[in-house]
Amino acid sequence: MTRIDAKFAELKAQGKRAFVAYVMAGDPDYDTSLELVKGLPAAGVDIIELGVPFTDPMADGPTIQRAGQRALEAGMTLQDSLDLATEFRRVDDTTPIVLMGYYNPIYSRGVDRFLIDAATAGIDGLIVVDLPPEEDDELCIPAQKAGLNFIRLATPTTDDKRLPKVLQNTSGFVYYVSITGITGSAEAQADEVGPEVARIKAKTDLPVVVGFGIKTPEAARAIAGVADGTVVGSAIVSKIGGGEPPAKVLDFVKSLADGAHQA
C-alpha cells in the first residue's frame, strides 16, 4: 500500500473527500517553494501535487506556464525538484507527493535512475501527461514495479470505448479533467462533472479526483461533493505568481481545503 492508498483509506474511514493542491517546484524560487510545500499539510492538504518545470508544458495554461518559467529562471531542475521532496520528507513522512510533469526530463535522466531517485526522495506517484496508455512499457509499468502509483488522466472526450484503455495499469487514483482544454481556462460545473465521475467509477474501484477549473472554496466543495476529491492548481499558483507571501498563500489553500472537506 502506497501513501496515496493509505490516505484515501483514511479519508474514506472519516467520511471525507480528498483535497489535492498543486504547486510548481521552485516557484518563485527553491526556498520559498520549500516553505510553501512544508506548510501545505497544516493547511489541510491531503495530497501534494508537485509540478516539475519544463520548457514546453503543452497541457498547462498561462498561469502554470508562467510558474514553470519562473522556476526555470531561478535555476530549478528535475534534481532540484527531487531534492525539495527529500527536504519535505525530513519533516513529513505521511503526506503523499505526486510528481506531475512531462516525459522528456525523465527520459533524459534515464527511467531506471529516475525511478530509484524518485522513490528515494519519497515520491509516491507520477502524472506524466504526454505518455498515453499505448506507451505503458516506457514508464508506467516500471514505475508500478518500483512501488510508485501511475495516475492517469481521463477527460470529457474519453468515451466508453477509450476509458478501459485509460484505466488499464492506472493506480492510486484517476484524475478526471473537468473541462476540455488547458489548466485554468474555464470553471468546472458539478452538474456536468457528476455524471462523468459516476461513469468512470462504474468501471474502476479507484478513487476519482477532479481537477481543472476549480478556483474557490465553494467550487471545491461542490466538485468534491460529486467525486472522491478535488484538485486546485492555477488558483493557488496565481497567488504565488502575484507575490503573495507564503503565509497568505497557505491561508487561501486552507480555505479551499475546508471547502472540499465540507462536501
Region of 173 (left: φ > 0; alpha: ψ -120 to 50; beta: rest) is: beta
Known catalytic membership, residue 49: yes
153 φ, ψ (degrees, to nearest 5): -95, 135
Q: Which is catalytic among the residues 5, 27, 46, 60?
A: 60
Tell the burial category of 180 from Cβ atoms under 10 Å away from its Cβ (0-12, 13-18, 19+). exposed
User: Can you list the alpha helix ranges (DSSP code H) found in 40-74?
Assistant: 62-73
Q: Which is catalytic among the residues 49, 117, 196, 228?
A: 49
Is the CB of residue 74 less than 8 Å from the CB of residue 26? Answer: yes
Known catalytic membership, residue 228: no
Alpha-carbon distance of 103 to 111, in angstroms, equals 10
Q: Which helix (H) or strand (E) holds 211?
A: strand 208-211
Q: At how many degrees (to 10) do helices 246-261 and 217-224 cross?
A: 30
Q: At how many degrees (to 10) do helices 234-241 and 246-261 cross?
A: 160
Task: For the chain, give the number of residues.
Answer: 263
Q: What angle do CA 85, 45, 202 make, to 5 degrees?
A: 105
Tell me the catalytic residues: 49, 60
